[in-house]
Structure 1
C-alpha cells in the first residue's frame, strides 16, 4: 500500500488542504502547532474513523460539516475513501478507479470499514507498526507480550492462519452437523418410497372409482333426459286434460243454466195461458159469438190483418236470423282457422318457455361450475404467487432469469475454479523451480542457474535471499488461490443447490401454469356460455308476454265463436238451422199470401154487407171493447208463441250441450292422462336428479382428493429426488471433510504457521539489525524473543529492553519498527513517523536521518511520511510539504518546489 493523495475540508485547523504524495521520503515540516500532525490524523481518520470516540472534536471550530478524502494504492489498484460529517451525521463511501473514472463499490460506514479490512487494513496493525505517533515509538515494545505477538502475527500472516485454523474447526463442525442432518434426512427415503407407492396405488383406485362414477353419472343423465321427455309428454297431456275438463265443466254449467232457463220459460207459458183464459173467459166468448154475426167479417178481417202483421214480424225476424247465421257461417271458419294457428303458436311458445326453464337450470349449473373453476384458478394463482414470493421473485420470467443467471454463474465458477487450479499449478511449478535453484546454489554452484553468470559469495547469498522471498510471496499467493478455490467451490455448491431448487420449482410452476391455463380457458368458455344463455334468457319475459297474449286471444276467439255459433254449434249445424229457418220463412210467406187473399175476400164481403167502400176502424163501444180484449188475447198468443219458440231453442241448445258433453268425456277418456303417473315421473326425476347431484359431488370430491394426492405424489417424487441428490451430496461432504482435516492440519501451528513464523522472524531480525547497527550502540546485534520482544547481544551477554537507557530503547524500537516494515514491504510498503526524533540525542538523530535516507536501498520501493519541525530532514526528503498558519489561524500546506 502507498498514499496517493489526501483532501481535507474543515478538519482541525485545515479549511481546504489538498496534497499529492510522491514515493520515497515525504517530509512534512513546520513550526509546532502549524497543523502538521492534523494531516496524519486525517489519514488515520479516513482509514479508521472508529478510533476517534468524539469525531465532532475533529471538525474546525465554527463549521457545521467536515470531509476527508484519501486516495491509496493497493496491489496496483487505486481506491478513494471519503468520510464526511454533516450536522452530526456521518457518511462514508469507497470507490475504485477504472480508467479515468471512479466507480462506487461500498456505501455506509460499516460496509466501507469491512471492505478496507478485507483489503488488509487493520486498525491495531496500523497503529502499532505503520503509524508511529509522536512519543509512541516504543509503544510496540511496551505492549503486553500476547498483544505484541498477536499484532506481529497479523503482519506476518500467522494470526490469519491461526484464525483460519480455528474457523476451519467451526466449518468442520458445521459440515459434520450438516452430514448428520443429511444422514437423518436420507433415512426417510425408504418410508417416503413406501408412502409414494401407497399414494400411487390410492391414486389409481380413485381414478378407477371416478371412471365408474362418471359412467354412472352418464347413465343417470340418459335416464333423466328420458324421464324429462316423458314428463314433457305427460305435461302436454295434462294441459289438454285440464283444458278439456275446464270445457266440460263450462258446458255442464251452461247446460244447468239452460235447464233453469227452460223451467222459467215453462212457468211463463203456464202464466200466459192462465192470462189468456182470463181474457177469453166464457162470458166474453159468448158475447163475441153473438156480435160475430154482425161484426164477424169485420172482426175476422182485422184478425187476419193482425195475423198478417204477426207473420210479417216473424218473416223479418227469420230474415235477420238467417243473415246472422250466414254471417256466423262465414266468420266461424276464419276464427277457427285463426284459433288453430294461435293454438300452434301457443304450443310453440309453451315449448319455448319450457326450453327457457331448462336454460335457466343450465345457467344455474354453469354459474356454479364457473364459481368452482374460478376458485380453482385463484387457488392455483395463490400457490404460484406463494412459491414465487418464497424465493423473492415477481413472476415466472424473473424465476427463469434467476435460474439462467444461476446456471451462467455455475459455468462462470467452474471456469474460474479451473483457471485458479491452473494458476495454482503454475505457481507450484514456480516454487519448485525456485527451490531447485536455491538447492543448486546451496550445494556450492558458483554460476547463476538462469543466466550462467559467475556469482560472488555475497551475491549468492543475496540471490538465495531474493529467491526465498519470492518463494514466500508465491506460497502466500498459492494459499490465497487455495482459499479462493475453496470459497468458489463452496459458492458453486450453493449456487448448484439453488439452481436445482429453482429447476424443481420451475417444473412445479410450469405444471401449475398448464393447469391454470386450462382452468382459465374453462372459465372463459363458461363465461361465454353464461353470456349466451343470459342473452337467450333476455327473451323470456317477451315470450311470457307473448304466451299470455296468445292465451287471451284464444279466449276471445272462443267467446266470439261461441256467440256466433249459438253456444257451440258447428257450421254444419248452423247450415241445417239456416235451412230450417228458410223453410219456415217460405212457409210464413205462403201463409201470408193465403191470409192476404182471405183478408181481401173478407174486405169485399164487409164492403158488401156494410155498403161501404172502405173498412174503417171505429165500431160500437162493444166492438171496441171486444177489439181491446181481442188485441190483448192476440198479444198473449204472440207472447205464448215467442215463449214456445224460445222453449224450442233452449231444448235444442240443451240437446247440443248434451252432445258436446258426451264428446268431451270421450276426448278426456282418450287422452289417458293420470295424475298419479305424472307425480310418479316427477318423483322419479327428483330422485334421479338427487342421485346425479350426489354422484357429481362424489366426483368433485374425488377430483379434489386426486389433486391433493397427485400433488403429494409430485411432492414425494421431488422429495425423494432431493434426498437422492442429498445422498450424492453426503458422499461429497464426507470426501470434503477428509480434505478439510488435511487442510486444517496444514494451517496448524506446526504447519504453515511455523514456517511463516520462522521465516518472518528471521527477516525482521535481519532488517532490524541492519538498521540497529547504524545507531552505533555498544551492542553487536539484537534478537527477537518468541513474543517479538527485543534482547540486545554483546559478547555472550543478553540485555533485556527494560535494562536499556531511554535513547537506546528508542533506537531499538525504531529498528524494530523499520525492520517489520522492510520485512513486509511487499504488503506494507509505507511508514508514517510523527516527530520520530523525540528523546533522541544529536548523534541518534543524525543516525536516524541517515537510515531514512538509505531506506529505499534497504527495502526497495518504500514510502515514508515523516512529520517533523526539524529542517534537517529536508536534506534526505524526496518531497517536502511545508505547513504554516495564516493570520486567521488556519493551516496552509504547500509542496516545496
Structure 2
C-alpha cells in the first residue's frame, strides 16, 4: 500500500493544504507545534474515521470554522482508491459524510462512515488499533508495545496475523459442542420418557375397552330415537292449542288498545281546552302591561326633550343631540391635547434639568478620578525608574563574570561553545563505552588463554601441544590489554576534563540568559515609564476641561427648571376647561339615555300587541284540533263495542288445557332425552378418548423410532464438534509457534543491525510472546532494564520486525500500509539516531515501499528521499506544507531555522 496524496480543508491548524507523497523515505520537518503530526492524523482519520481519533469529531474542525474536509488518495495491491470525508458543525452536533471509490484498477464504491471503515479494515486486514500497533508509531507511544503485558502483546500480534479468527472459530466450535451436548441430553431424556409411556399404555387393553363402549352406545341411541318420535307428536298438539289461544289473545289485545286510545283522546281534548283558557288569560294580562308601559313613556318626555312620543320626533331629537356632542367633543379634544402637551413639556424639562445636574456631578466625579489616576501614573514612573536602576546594577555584576573568566568566550558565544563541548563529550563517552567493552573481551581472551596454557593446551585450537608456536599469541593479547587500558584511562581523563569545562560554561550560560532577561525587562520598564508620563500629562489636561464643563451644565439645569414651572401652570389652566366640557358632555348623554328609554318602550308596546295577536291565532287552531279529535273518538267507541261481542271464553279454556298437558309431557321427555343425550355424549367421548389413546400409542411408537435416530445422529455430531474444536485449537497453537519462530528470526535480524557492535548478543521470544535480551556474556535482561534510548530503539526494532513478518506473511508476501514513525527520536541521543537511520535503510532493503517520518533531526533529514516542510503563520495560526527533493536541501540551514 502507498499514500499518493492528502488534501485538507480546515483540519486542525490547516486552512487549505494539498500534499503529494511518493515511494521511498519522506521526512516531515518543522518546529514543535507547527502541525507535523496533524498530517499523519489526517491520513489515519481518512482511513478509519472517528475510530482514529482520541477526542471527538468536533476537535478536528479548525477553530472558528463550521466544516472540515479530508481527501486521501492511496494505492493498494495495484488498485487506486479515493476516500472523501466531510464534517459540518450543526449547533451541538457534527454531521459526518464519507465516501470511497476506486480511481483505477477496480470498481468498489462505499457510502457512509461505517461502510467505508469496514471496507478499509477488510482491505488492509487490520482495524484502527491493529494499524497503530503495526504500521503507525504515534508520538509518545514508541514504548507502548514493550510496556504491554505478554498476554496483551500476544493478543495484538495474534490479531495482526489473523490468529484471532482461529480462536473465534474454536470458541464457536466449543459453543456448538456444548449446544449439541445439551440437545443430546434433552433428547435422551425424552426418549426414556416415551419408552415408559408406551409401556404404560400397552398394559391398559385399549381395544377391549373400545368394544364395550361401542355396544353401550348402540343401546342408548335406540332409546333416544323412540323418545324423539313421541316428542314430535306432543309438539303438534301444543301448536294447535297455541294457535287458538293466539287468535283470542289478538282480539283481547286489540280491545285493550282501543280502550287505551279512547282514554288518550279524551285526555288530549281536556288538555287542549285547558291550554285555550291559558291563552285567554295571557291576552288579558298583556293588555294591562301595555297600559303600564304607555304611562311610563309620558313620564320620560320632558327628560328626553320631546313633546310627543313619535318616531319622527325621536329621530329629530337624536340628531340634535349628536350635533351638540360633536361640538363639545371637538372642543374637549383640543383642550385635553393642550393640557397633556403642557404637562409633558413640564415633565420633560424637569427631567432634562435633572439630567443636566447629574451630568455636572458626573463630570466633577470624573475630574476627581482623573486627578487620582494622574497621581498614580506619576508614582508608577518613579517606581519604574527605581527598578531600572536595580536591574542595571545586577547586569553590571553579571558582566563582571565574563571579564573574570580566562577563557576566550563572550556572552554571545557561550551557548554555542557549550553545545560544541557537549557533542565532544558525547563522542568521548561513546568511545569510553566501546573501549570498556573491547577491554573486557580482551581480558577474557587472556584469562582463557592462560587457563589453556596451564592445562598444556593451545590457546587457539584448545588441543594438547608441547612447545606450540601458537602460544606466543597470548603476548599480543596482553599487549593489547595494556594498550586498551592506557587508551581508556586517557579517554576517561578527557571526559572528566570536558565535564569540568561544561560545568563552568553552564554558569556562564545562566548569566547570559539572565542578562538577556534584564535587557528585555529594562527596555519594557523604560517604555512603560514613558507611557505613564504621557498618560499623567493628558489626564491633568482632562481634569481642567471636565470641571469647566460641569459649571456650564449646572447653569443650564437651573434655567431649564424655571421654564418647566411655567409649563406646569399652563397645564393646570387647560385642565379646568376640560372639566367644564366634560360636564356638558354628560348632560348630552343623560338626554340621549332618556330618548333611548322612550324609544325602547314604544318598541315594547308594539311587541306586546303582536303577542296578543299570536295568542288569538293559537286559540283558534286548538279549537279546530279538538273538533277533529271528537270525530276520531266516536269511531273508536263503535269498533270497541263490536269486538266485545266476538270473544268465546269456553274455546279459550279448552285450548288452554290441551296446551298445558302437552307442555308437561314435553318437559318430562326433554329431561329424559337430555339424560340419554348426556349418556351418549359420555360414551362418544369415552370412545374418542380410547381411540385417541390407541392413536397416541401408535404416534409414541413412531416418535420413539424417530428420536432413536436423532439421538444417534446427535452423538455422531457431538464427536465431530469435539474433534473440530480440538483441530482449531491445535492449528492456532501450531501457527502461533510458527509466528513466534518467524518473529524471533526477523527481530534478531533487525536487532543484529541495531545492536551488532554493542554488548548484546540476541533476543529470545517464547510461545507467550515474552521478550528476553541476552548480553554477550550470556546474562539475560528484561527489556525494561535497558536505558531510555536503548529501550526506545528496541521498541522500534520490535515494531519493524512485526511489520516485516506481516509483510512477508506465513504463506507469502502481503501488501501492507506505509511504515509511519511520528517523532521516533524523542528518547534517542545522537548515537542511537544513527542506528535508527540504519534501521530505516534496512527496512527499505526489505522491500518497504513507503516510509513516512515526522522529525526535526538533521541526520534523519539527510537520509530522506523527499522532505516536507511544515510552517505555521503566527498571525493567522494556520499551517502550510512544502514538498521538495531532499537531495537539494541544506541540512545545516534547517538546523539554523
TM-score, normalisation: structure 2? 0.40
Q: Which has the larger radius of gyration?
A: 1
TM-score, normalisation: structure 1? 0.40
